[in-house]
Amino acid sequence: MKLPYPRQYLHLVAAAAALTLATTGSPGQAQEWPLRPVTMVVPTAAGGGADILARILAGRLAEILSKPVIIENVGNAVASTSRVAKARPEGYIFHFGNTAHYAYHPTLYKKPVYDPRTEFAPVGLVAEQPYLLVTRNDLPVSNLREFMSYAKTNQDKLQFGSGAGTGSGNHIVCEMANAAMGVKVSHVPYRDIGPLTQDMIAGRIDYQCPLPVTMIPLIDNGRVKGIATLGKQRLASLPNLATGHEQGLTDFEGTVWWGFFFPRGTPDPIVRKLNKAAIATLDTPSVQQRLGTLAANVVTPERRSPEYLQKFLASEIERWAVPIKATGAFVD
């Protein structure tokens, strides 16, 4: 029998084949995926906004995949994303990431830790949310116009906090909101939303720009003061909270998108299977209802594919580069 390669090169062919299997797994393994629990890396501490959303999705995903989906909380934007970028591309770890981790990072960091365009296998967009502008309850303002006037007069004394630290979405959105209002206020980074909110309730921090998930009950019971929703529309869960656009901040919008990302090199059949499971999760009425109560809107069907997320990510990196550069909020 004639060999397809000269005999002296067979060891090289075998080595290449072994390396391919070690890196991507066999086709059979991809088709049988998942054979064991799958880990979803979440970029906040337990109880944070992302964690609450992730657990709603993970519960239904686990039912569809017939395997547990384990939440791994890594309370730092860069650390959580890097954790996935460096993981083995076998399909057993993926990231529940957002605008901050993927669209902001290449511009925000003077020396980016990872490249969102090349180090991940996008699975699909999941949901979108607006940020809020929330203040301590005793700040002497009741709406955005009053807040802007007060902030311009007292910007040297005010402090705003971010619940996931420097470079997180709530940090950058607040920086950009400050720039749009024409104020410069000191930033105090926190490791997660809990201690920040406690300090704001106690009067040690003046305001923050959080996601609605953890703020809705605090606004409703008067422990913090809602000033504006930074999206285009009012929230059904906070119908009396006017948008920034309604209150004169017409050139600014603060929203976040969420998506699933595997490490680069994850076999395409596995990417497709998680994407299919994600779509089934998003189409589940109980999931939609629970996300809706948290002001998270499920993305429309035409925006859920891996191909869409790949193109969308590239456009988002370009779109956010301009306002990030304008704020000068770079990270060394």
Q: How confident is the model at residue 329 (pLDDT cuts 50, 70, 90)?
A: low
Residue 11 has pLDDT above 70, yes or no: no
Residue 22 has pLDDT above 60, yes or no: no
Residue 4 has pLDDT above 70, yes or no: no
Instruction: Tell me, yes or no, whether 166 lies in a domain.
Output: yes
144 and 125 inside one domain: no
Q: Is the alpha carbon torsion for 145, 150, 155, 157 positive or negative?
A: negative
pLDDT tens digits, one per residue of 112-122? 999 999 999 99
So what's the pLDDT on residue 30? 73
Give me the percent of the chain exceeding a pLDDT of 90: 71
Q: What is the mean pLDDT of the segment spanning 19-43?
A: 74
So what's the pLDDT on residue 48? 81
Phi, psi of 80 (to 5 degrees): -65, -40
- Choice between 292 and 5, residue whose per-residue pLDDT is larger: 292
* Residue 112 near residue 289, CB atoms below 8 Å: no
Exposure of 249 in the CB half-sphere (CA atoms within 13 A) = 27
* Residue 300 near residue 126, CB atoms below 8 Å: no
pLDDT tens digits, one per residue of 119-178? 999 999 999 999 999 999 999 999 999 999 999 999 999 999 998 777 788 888 999 899
Q: Is the alpha carbon torsion for 256, 187, 238, 180 positive or negative?
A: negative
Q: What is the mean pLDDT of the segment spanning 274-281?
A: 98
* Residue 177 near residue 16, CB atoms below 8 Å: no
pLDDT tens digits, one per residue of 184-220? 999 999 988 889 999 999 999 999 999 898 899 999 9
Prior bond to 34 cis, omega within 30? yes
**Where among 194, 229, 264 does a domain terminate?**
229
163 and 222 inside one domain: yes
198 and 281 inside one domain: no
36 and 48 inside one domain: yes
So what's the pLDDT on residue 192? 82
Q: What is the mean pLDDT of the segment spanning 218-229?
A: 96
Q: What is the mean pLDDT of the segment spanning 305-309?
A: 98
Instruction: Tell me, yes or no, whether 6 lies in a domain.
Output: no
Look up residue 292 and give its DSSP letter.
H
Instruction: Tell me, yes or no, whether 249 lies in a domain.
Output: no
Q: Which of 135, 160, 137, 159 is nearest to 147 (CA)?
A: 135
Count of domains observed in the chain = 2
So what's the pLDDT on residue 323? 79
Residue type, 194: G
Sheet with 93-98: strands ordered across: 69-73, 38-42, 93-98, 255-263, 120-130, 297-298
176 and 321 inside one domain: no
pTM of the model: 0.80
So what's the pLDDT on residue 262? 98
Instruction: Tell me, yes or no, whether 17 lies in a domain.
Output: no
Instruction: Tell me, yes or no, whether 87 lies in a domain.
Output: yes
Name the strand (E) or helix (H) holding 21.
Answer: helix 10-24
Name the strand (E) or helix (H) holding 160.
Answer: strand 159-162
**CATH code, domain carrying 264:** 3.40.190.150
Residue 70 has pLDDT above 80, yes or no: yes
Instruction: Tell me, yes or no, whether 177 lies in a domain.
Output: yes
111 and 142 inside one domain: no
Domain extent at residue 136: 132-229
- Choice between 173 and 12, residue whose per-residue pLDDT is larger: 173
Using DSSP's 3-state secondary structure scheme, residue 77 falls into helix
80 and 142 inside one domain: no
300 and 263 inside one domain: yes
**CATH code, domain carrying 209:** 3.40.190.10
So what's the pLDDT on residue 24? 45
Instruction: Tell me, yes or no, whether 238 lies in a domain.
Output: no
Q: How confident is the model at residue 44 (pLDDT cuts 50, 70, 90)?
A: confident
Mean pLDDT of the chain: 89
Instruction: Tell me, yes or no, whether 91 lies in a domain.
Output: yes
48 and 187 inside one domain: no
Residue 19 has pLDDT above 70, yes or no: no
54 and 98 inside one domain: yes
Q: How confident is the model at residue 320 (pLDDT cuts 50, 70, 90)?
A: confident
212 and 280 inside one domain: no
pLDDT tens digits, one per residue of 76-113? 888 999 999 999 999 999 999 999 899 999 998 889 99
Residue 310 has pLDDT above 80, yes or no: yes
284 and 307 inside one domain: yes
Q: How confident is the model at residue 331 (pLDDT cuts 50, 70, 90)?
A: confident
